[in-house]
Structure 1
Amino acid sequence: MNFAKWVSFSLVIILIYIIWQVKQLLLLALTAIVLAISLNILIIQMGRFGLKRKYAVPLSIFCLLGTIFLFGSLVVPSLITQFEELSKLVPKGIDKLILELNNLRDSLSLDVVNALPNLDQLLSQLQPILNELISRGFNFVSGFLGILLSSLLLLALTLMILVEPLPYRNGFIRLFPQFYRHRMDKILIYCENDLQEWLTDTLIRIFSAIILSSFVLFIFGIPLVWVQGFLAGFLVLIPYVGPSISVISPMAIAFITSSWKPWFILMFYIIIYQIIEYTILPKVRKHRVILSPANVIIGEVFFGSLLGILGLFLALPLTIISQIFVKEILIKDILDKINHSDS
């Protein structure tokens, strides 16, 4: 390896080290990009009605700020109150669930009981994992002041990217050699298109989960319907894991008053997510981003372990971007050309 290659290799290692040190800032920037792309969808829809972009951008910003203000003043106080009540009811339901499990355990044979792990063993194994996820996800935004500053920084980055996206896009493209910049521009277009499709699908999933889960809980007479429906919609952002977590609180509360309601709630929650994925989305959305379950799970494990709990919520967009980069750069531009040259 000559001197130039050694220098290039060293620069790549230094770049990877720098990226690792500022990964939380990069995660914040990616969140801002996702929000800017979601607002850009609204701007595109306004443009279809004849509104020019120079008017659509401030109007979309006004809609965003207005939504944040209304949500913070009207919805958040009610949600906080209901979350406080939820935090009191769920432990009671979990205690009832533990009692039911202990009764079931006592009815089993001794050999089966010894083979099963008890709750303390499970919690002791899960606790370090949960602590690691939370610490990695919130080190950057610890404390009220950190959360406030991070939120303001996120909002400022989103607005700057939305108002003038070209300087940031061109600046990123210029990080690559001149011969590859046109190709990188196309790859970024692929990423933007797929992220727009994913955002549209996600919004449909969120609203569908909120409405359907709230309806089911209302039918079964479970209290705190809207806060649990909102929780179900919010946790849709974490595929597979989120829906599993969202059913815990309604089942726990149902255990307080009934022994059969929790299992019906579990069954209906499973049906809800199946309806969303295989009935609502295919009928509403003809063009969707399709990711294999294996890629989604690998992305959740990788980005969750790397970036903490925030990485779990951004696992899907990160997986979409990673999949495009691997396909277009590693496979098409490197491996395929190497194989072609060898043949």
Structure 2
Amino acid sequence: MAVIGVLLLLSFFGRVAPSLLAITLALILATALNPVARFFERWMSRGLAGTLTVLLVLGTIVGLGFLAVPPIVKQLSGLGESLPTDLNQIEARLNSWLSLNPTLDRVVPDDAPGRLAEQAGKLGNVLAERLPGVLTLVGGGIFTALVTLIMVVFALGNPVPIVNGFLGAVPAHYRLNATRALAQTLKQMGAWGRATVLVMLVTGTVTAAGFYLLGVQNWLVFGILAALGELVPTIGPIVASLPPVLFTLASDPEKALWVAVFVLVFQQVSGFVLAPFVVGGAGGLHPLSVTVGVLLFSGVFGIVGAFLTIPFLILIKAVYQHFYLRDAPDIPDAVAMALISGVVEEQMDREEEARKAADRAIQEVRDAELERQLQEGELDLEAVLDEHSEHDSTPVVRPAPRGNAESGGPPRGPERPDT
């Protein structure tokens, strides 16, 4: 019965996972927008401040859409028109490259480029066949987005019952730690929201300007794609940098090389300068933790899980710090540095060598004494064997004596009481 219950529970969560994810996304967005609502709360009620915050975000998105959508549509149409030509150029360059590499030419089938172009040409038909399903998926996504937006308005407008309900569900002796963890989460989540928007703006602007100066077609589309790639930590920028390089490679390999160099340099600057100073204060998360989190959460929740990686990690870190780390011993960083740098290993090796040297010295003295006793006829074999047995930590079981140790007679029995 327990197994059946677990399976039913997993099936239930599998069916409601999208709804739970939408609720989680709404709470995280409300938390990230909370600093903006607190700013407006100085001049109006909390409900109006929350509504105004959401309307301001929507107005910004719509305004950017009106400015960016017409050129994006124009560039996308140009990209679609040039796609067959680009594919033919890629096929010609692939054939030329294979002819210069006989080894690969023997491995790759002769009709491989043609088959690749044929499959790419069928892409439009495949998309047309799947258009109803895509429209259904898009419609469901729009509905979920609207519901999520409404939940964000409610959560921002009246967050007191939500916070009280959360704290009330925590046992009394953990409530103070839960309050501190929630305060840290609210602070770092707001910083994460501001940092993410700033990094997206900088990345999109610099990337689009760089592509424009390099003469890359569809530079605006690729710039917006680079900005959206910042929503997925670590992996998103890498994936967003591939399309401009590949599409430029079809028409101008030399230009594609410069595009790749520009993208690589900007990613290094963004990863080592922009992200640490802007995003680093949002949560103080280790890059390895972020990468592992992206892999885990994207595997469970898809692309939305990858976007929610840093909020999830901020929450996990706050719970860990205020529920476990406060009671854990304070281990200095010098201990970890000693382990990483090999100082502890060297110290252990020195201690082991000293112990072995001391054992050798003791053994040499013992052997010399035994040699002297052997030469002078004073060697007590039983005592030597007993000493070695005690040295090896092996208990020695001696047989009980048959006679009295003093008189050599039979062993004494228990004493009888005087009568």
TM-score by length of 2: 0.62
Q: Say whether the 8 Å CA contact 1:214–1:225 is kept in structure 2.
A: yes
TM-superposed deviation, 1:170: 2.1
* 1:131-150 matched pairs, under 5 angstroms: 142-150=136-144
TM-superposed deviation, 1:231: 0.8
Aligned equivalent of 2:204: 210
Aligned equivalent of 1:295, options 272, 289, 297: 289
Aligned equivalent of 1:183, options 177, 184, 187: 177
TM-superposed deviation, 1:153: 0.2
Aligned equivalent of 2:260, options 254, 257, 266: 266
Q: Say whether the 8 Å CA contact 2:51–2:156 is kept in structure 1.
A: no
Aligned equivalent of 1:70, options 63, 72, 78: 63
Q: Say whether the 8 Å CA contact 1:208–1:276 is kept in structure 2.
A: no
Q: 1:204 to 1:66 in 2, by over 3 A?
A: closer
Q: Does 1:315 align with 2:292?
A: no
Q: 1:102 to 1:64 in 2, by over 3 A?
A: same
Aligned equivalent of 1:341: none
Aligned equivalent of 1:57, options 50, 72, 93: 50
For residues 211 and 58 of structure 2, the distance between their equivalents in structure 1, rounded to whole angstroms, comes to 31
* 1:324-335 matched pairs, under 5 angstroms: 324-329=318-323, 331-332=324-325
Counterpart code for 1:269: V
SS of residue in 1 equivalent to 2:283: coil
Aligned equivalent of 2:148: 154
Q: Alpha-carbon deviations, 1:64-97, whole Å to 9, x = none?
A: 3322443454433543443343345467546645
SS of residue in 1 equivalent to 2:72: helix
For residues 294 and 216 of structure 1, the distance between their equivalents in structure 2, rounded to whole angstroms, comes to 29
Q: Does 1:278 align with 2:268?
A: no
SS of residue in 1 equivalent to 2:169: coil
Q: Which moved more, 1:53-62 or 1:264-273?
A: 53-62
For residues 11 and 175 of structure 1, the distance between their equivalents in structure 2, rounded to whole angstroms, comes to 24
Aligned equivalent of 1:132: none
Counterpart code for 1:260: E
Task: Structure 2: give runs of 5+ residues left out of the alignment.
Answer: 116-132, 330-419
Q: Say whether the 8 Å CA contact 1:90–1:249 is kept in structure 2.
A: no
Q: Say whether the 8 Å CA contact 1:33–1:158 is kept in structure 2.
A: yes
Aligned equivalent of 2:300: 306
TM-superposed deviation, 1:102: 5.9
Q: Alpha-carbon deviations, 1:220-241, whole Å to 9, x = none?
A: 1112222211110001111232
Aligned equivalent of 2:217: 223
Aligned equivalent of 1:194, options 188, 195, 214: 188
Counterpart code for 2:16: V
Aligned equivalent of 1:79: 72
Aligned equivalent of 1:125: none
Q: Alpha-carbon deviations, 1:248-283, whole Å to 9, x = none?
A: 221123123311111111111121122233334556
> Which structure has more RCO (C-alpha within 8 Å, separation ≥ 6)?
1
SS of residue in 2 equivalent to 1:260: helix
How many pairs does the alignment contain? Answer: 309
Q: Say whether the 8 Å CA contact 2:184–2:318 is kept in structure 1.
A: yes
Aligned equivalent of 2:389: none
Aligned equivalent of 2:239: 245
For residues 206 and 96 of structure 2, the distance between their equivalents in structure 1, rounded to whole angstroms, comes to 33
For residues 267 and 112 of structure 1, the distance between their equivalents in structure 2, rounded to whole angstroms, comes to 29
Aligned equivalent of 1:167: 161
Q: Say whether the 8 Å CA contact 1:94–1:252 is kept in structure 2.
A: no
Counterpart code for 1:294: L
Q: Say whether the 8 Å CA contact 2:51–2:153 is kept in structure 1.
A: no
TM-superposed deviation, 1:38: 3.2
For residues 333 and 20 of structure 1, the distance between their equivalents in structure 2, rounded to whole angstroms, comes to 35
TM-superposed deviation, 1:171: 2.0
TM-superposed deviation, 1:158: 0.6
TM-superposed deviation, 1:322: 2.8
Q: Which moved more, 1:205-214 or 1:55-64?
A: 55-64
TM-superposed deviation, 1:214: 0.7
Counterpart code for 1:66: G
TM-score by length of 1: 0.74
Q: Say whether the 8 Å CA contact 2:98–2:104 is kept in structure 1.
A: no
Q: Alpha-carbon deviations, 1:115-159, whole Å to 9, x = none?
A: 9xx999xxxxxxxxxxxxxxxxxx9x9534312311210110110
Q: Which moved more, 1:251-260 or 1:317-326?
A: 317-326
Counterpart code for 1:51: W
Q: 1:279 to 1:144 in 2, by over 3 A?
A: closer
Q: 1:79 to 1:14 in 2, by over 3 A?
A: same
Q: Alpha-carbon deviations, 1:153-188, whole Å to 9, x = none?
A: 011011001101121222233333233233222212
Q: 1:80 to 1:176 in 2, by over 3 A?
A: farther
Whichever structure has more helix as a proportion of its residues is: 1
Aligned equivalent of 2:20: 26
Q: Alpha-carbon deviations, 1:207-226, whole Å to 9, x = none?
A: 11111111111111112222
